[in-house]
Amino acid sequence: MVDFSLSDEEKQVRDWVRTFVRKEVIPLEQEVLRRERANQPGLTADVLKELQDKAKASGFWGVQTPEEYGGMGLGAVMSALLEAELGRSFVQFRFGGHADNILYYANDEQKRRYLLPTLSGERKSCFAITEPGAGSDARNIRTSARQDGTDWIINGEKTFITGGNEADFTMVFAVTDKDKHSKGHTDQSVTCFLVDRDQGWRSEYIDTMGEWGPAALVFEDVRVPQENILGEVGNGFALAMKWIGRGRYMLPARALGACERLVEMAVEQANTRVTFGEPIANRQAIQWMIADSAVEIEALRWLVLHAAWVVDQGQDSRHWQSIAKLYGGVKANEIVDRVLQIHGGMGYTRELPVERWYRELRLLRIYEGTDEIQRRTIARNILKGHASVSGTLG
Ligand SMILES: Cc1cc2nc3c(=O)[nH]c(=O)nc-3n(C[C@H](O)[C@H](O)[C@H](O)COP(=O)(O)OP(=O)(O)OC[C@H]3O[C@@H](n4cnc5c(N)ncnc54)[C@H](O)[C@@H]3O)c2cc1C
């Protein structure tokens, strides 16, 4: 039997986050918009910490962090449900106690220096694979690390690195075997290094159409000791794929929450805005925009939850995650466009969060695998018989 209901415990957890977002996060929105209009970070580090501490006092810390590290160790479905609740506000709130999944592959000493301080919020990391010449085609990276005694010397440039300006260490991917790399053996030629900012890399902010810009990272003869290698020499690409594949369902989950809130705003606007003597809600043109959005939100919900459920089953979820990410990116952009249209001129102003979401949701179609790369993955899986259009019930 297929059961679409949540357990009482799941509902309780979800409802706690829903209330937290309504009472603590949404009230900050106007101040965040005001600060962003003044080119300041919307949510300051102090306010974020204060919110995280409040959530922690109720046990919400390290949502996906294993319990042995003090986290909640929630599964994928529960995490997706919580992410959708957080997505109902554009304020960039996230729970404390999170660390990149690949830091758990660190040895004990590295865990002490990087993983634990990241979980406690003392240190900030960034994940650096993309380069000016290698984005979708990540296997084409050129940043290199040359061995010198027991040290490695890193040279190269990374680009579009989220948090790269704020991070005090990076997980950077560099070619350590040029010969194998030139023959396409990326699974043996790339290594991941944990590199502190004070070991010599620098960052430059990149202005984007979103509110928080990524950074370019520059490595010029940056010397790091052997003990800064994460995992094994040559297995960096596998780690990078683990990072990217850690939870693609989480991006469309956040977009799902945004779409729900946006359509609620559109409904309010449609019912109250009067033109030619009647609320615009009476017009079929507006009704169809709301109906299409409602159908797509429902479809997105089940794609996200299904992808997360496959993760929880311990099965290969890549195909389902690509489907959810592609659909979420495309539909969230169509929905925010309709909601902006329903708001008319006001939708285009910075008085309302609609235009902000319009710019932010655009990124979903680009990072962590563009629409085209998701389609490439989905088509390949089907054409090669790794997945079928009959889905998991097939
Ligand atoms: C705000 C932001 C944050 C980011 N954060 C990070 C981060 O933290 N760490 C990190 O390492 N990277 C990060 N990225 C990089 C991001 O993952 C890449 O931008 C993305 O993978 C696309 O690569 P590209 O920009 O080089 O585009 P390209 O790969 O040059 O692609 C250009 C266009 O060609 C299409 N295309 C490419 N190949 C094919 C193909 N085979 N078939 C059909 N179409 C194709 C693409 O879909 C796209 O439309 C971030 C990017 C942005 C914008």
**What pLDDT, in 10s, does the model give residues 25-75?**
999 999 999 999 888 888 998 999 999 999 999 999 999 999 999 999 999
Q: Cβ(7) to ligand 1 under 6 A?
A: no
Q: With cut-offs at 50, 70 and 90, classify the pLDDT of residue 137.
A: very high
Active site residues: 368
pLDDT over 90 at 394, yes or no: no
Q: Cβ(370) to ligand 1 under 6 A?
A: yes
Looking at every residue in the chain, the average pLDDT score rounds to 96
Q: How far is CA 124 from CA 99, 121, 160, 202, 394, in A?
A: 9, 7, 16, 15, 44
pLDDT over 80 at 150, yes or no: yes
The answer to whether 194 touches 163, Cβ cutoff 8 Å, is no
* Euclidean distance between CA atoms 252 and 147, whole angstroms: 41
CA of 60 to the centre of ligand 1 (A): 33
Q: What pLDDT is attached to residue 374?
A: 97
**What pLDDT, in 10s, does the model give residues 172-225?**
999 999 999 999 999 999 999 999 999 999 999 999 998 878 999 999 999 999
Q: What is the pTM of this model?
A: 0.95
Q: For 160, phi and psi rounded to 5 degrees?
A: 60, 40
**What pLDDT, in 10s, does the model give residues 324-337?**
999 999 999 999 99
pLDDT, mean of residues 357-370: 96
Q: What pLDDT is attached to residue 178?
A: 96
What is the position in ligand 1's atom list of the atom closest to the CA of 373? 47
pLDDT over 80 at 1, yes or no: no
Q: With cut-offs at 50, 70 and 90, classify the pLDDT of residue 280.
A: very high
Amino acid at 374: Q
Q: Cβ(170) to ligand 1 under 6 A?
A: no
pLDDT, mean of residues 330-357: 96
Q: What pLDDT is attached to residue 258?
A: 98
Q: Cβ(162) to ligand 1 under 6 A?
A: yes
Amino acid at 303: L
Q: What pLDDT is attached to residue 292?
A: 98
**What pLDDT, in 10s, does the model give residues 8-26?**
999 999 999 999 999 999 9
The answer to whether 63 touches 95, Cβ cutoff 8 Å, is yes
